[in-house]
Amino acid sequence: MLRREPFLCKLIFFLFCFASLSLADELTDSDRLEFTANASISNTSLSKPKEGSSFADMIDKALEKEFTENDQNEATDAGSFNNSVAEQQAVLETVARVKSKKNDTKEEKSFKFHDVFNLDNENGPEDTPTLIDRKDNVFIISNFKSKYPVLQLDLRLISDLVVVIVSATCGGIAFACAGQPVITGYLLAGSIIGPGGFNFVSEMVQVETVAQFGVIFLLFALGLEFSTAKLRVVRAVAVVGGLLEIVLFMFLCGITAMLCGGKSSEGVFVGAFLSMSSTAVVLKFLMEKNSINALHGQVTIGTLILQDCAVGLLFALLPVLCGTSGALQGLMSMTKVLVSLIAFLAVLSILSRTWVPWFLKLMMSLSSQTNELYQLASVAFCLLVAWSSDKLGLSLELGSFAAGVMISTTDLAQHTLEQIEPIRNFFAAFFLASIGMLIHVHFLWSHVDILLASVILVIIIKTAIITTVVKGFGYNNKTALLVGMSLAQIGEFAFVLLSRASNLHLVEGKLYLLLLGTTALSLVTTTLLFKLIPAVMHLGVLLRWFPPDSAVEVGSKGDGFRSDSGKQRISVLVEGPHDS
């Protein structure tokens, strides 16, 4: 140890001299004179150095010359305040900036349960400020402008994600222990923590945006399991029948509105609104019942995919209904959507035969040791196709389903499904909890009589119309009724349509609240409706609507997402050929 100390001292002295020589190159002649003068000061003077004459001050001067103010200031941002006002015709508006108050005095406060989820604490980091405009819209500041690049952290969003995930887990566990579908637990957990409950979630837009990944991965996994051969069998009823159902709803509701003295445009919108069914919720139930490959499951899924494709057309129709655009402009907009859809599917069909198999085999060869890269590539492929679909004016859901169908034509479809399933399960539960946050329990309870009557009426009408349409394509009574009951709810896309129609002033006031409450209660009662299907099938056998050999056997073995893995199987004998 004694021999190493001289060596270390020499090494440190050498490094110090090298740093001094490097720093000398950055100093001017006056700086060198000042440095020489400082070096000749006696030890007494060094114990009391003058301000600005220390070695650290000279380092600061060198750094200031190396990193100028031009390097510290960012380039002019095209989205800055002045540019937005001058070039993008932004409107100046008064907003209130709200920041959390830090108590200077340590006063004891009474405990409140809501404070557990509040991030405004004295010992934590500074909370993210919010802006409130004159219409009480709350905006979260997401991009701080600072002199230097800093790591930004939105603690509100982290807290909200934790609350949603934990509450969904607790709700699912509680309902699974009670022998009920876990979907109900997710929806109920979301309603409890949402604005209509204890209001634990503050950044609703951010949480609901993250939750949309649930729908994307649900439909991606559906595409992986979907059989194009079986889709060809039901394409007539799925495409033509699905369009016919939408047109029938719009026509009947429009005629009803005219006969009742209302606006025909509102009636047509209500018909389009009611024709939407919940892709995510119905798909989850079909997976739990292992009914995806059943005849009625194929018809149901084909109809749901057609509805997802029709969302873009319905969005183009809304400005025509509210009178903001002419019929010719609306027709051109719908034609544009149809052309984009055909071109998009044609390109994907070519890629699925050429590029996709090569790409998957390459990822498989690179992932010989671990599946991490293959899993990441599968997720990226799904998101890229979904994003492209959205950019073309179609929907994210259509793109994610198409991405799954592209991979289903290869030999790696089952392997991809195994890699995606954990991600799908997580985001699907997250999405259903976010749908529950749209449900205001107090509002539903206050108007439960009129809303419950509306939901029952919607279920009866939708079941009757869809059953009639499916029956018209030659399917037997049992298959037609199963499809009708499976699609009898109002889907989550209805929230999007309703929001867009409200912005266009197509529906306002009491009608908006009625449709909103009916949709929310419809999603809640969907689990009960699916539980009634075996009883309705048995009643149909007793009333001789169906032959005795078509009875439906349902035996629950737990909730889960897998349909073909064999881990959790629920026997549903639904072999239903066309009536001869």
Q: What is the average pLDDT across 335-340?
A: 82
The whole-number pLDDT of residue 125 equals: 43
Per cent of the chain over pLDDT 70 is: 70
Q: What is the pLDDT of residues 417-456, one digit of tens each?
A: 888 988 988 998 888 888 788 777 777 788 888 888 999 9
Phi-psi region at 393: left, alpha or beta (left = phi > 0; alpha = psi -120 to 50) = left
Q: What's the predicted TM-score (pTM) here?
A: 0.65
The whole-number pLDDT of residue 327 equals: 62
Q: What is the average pLDDT across 178-207?
A: 82
> Following DSSP, what letter does each residue of 236-273 receive, concatenated?
IIIIIIHHHHHHHHHHHHHHHHHHTTS-HHHHHHHHHH
The whole-number pLDDT of residue 570 equals: 33
Q: Which residues pair with 96 in a beta bridge?
A: 132
The whole-number pLDDT of residue 43 equals: 45
The enclosing H or E element of 132 equals strand 130-132
Instruction: Evaluate if residue 76 carries a pLDDT over 60.
Output: no
How many C-beta atoms surround the C-beta of residue 180 within 10 A? 16
The enclosing H or E element of 385 equals helix 372-391
Residue 118, SS3 per DSSP:
coil
The whole-number pLDDT of residue 459 equals: 92
The whole-number pLDDT of residue 387 equals: 93
Q: What is the average pLDDT across 26-49?
A: 48
Q: What is the pLDDT of residues 499-549, one digit of tens each?
A: 778 777 888 777 877 887 888 788 778 878 888 888 888 888 888 877 765
Tell me phi and psi for residue 96, to 5 degrees. Answer: -105, 130
The distance between the two most distant Cα atoms of the chain, rounded to a whole number of Å, is 113
Q: What is the pLDDT of residues 118-146, one digit of tens each?
A: 544 444 445 567 777 777 777 776 666 66
Report which listed range, 14-23, 274-283, 541-550, 571-580, is most confident: 274-283
From 380, 503, 444, 540, select the one nearest 192 (Cα to Cα): 444
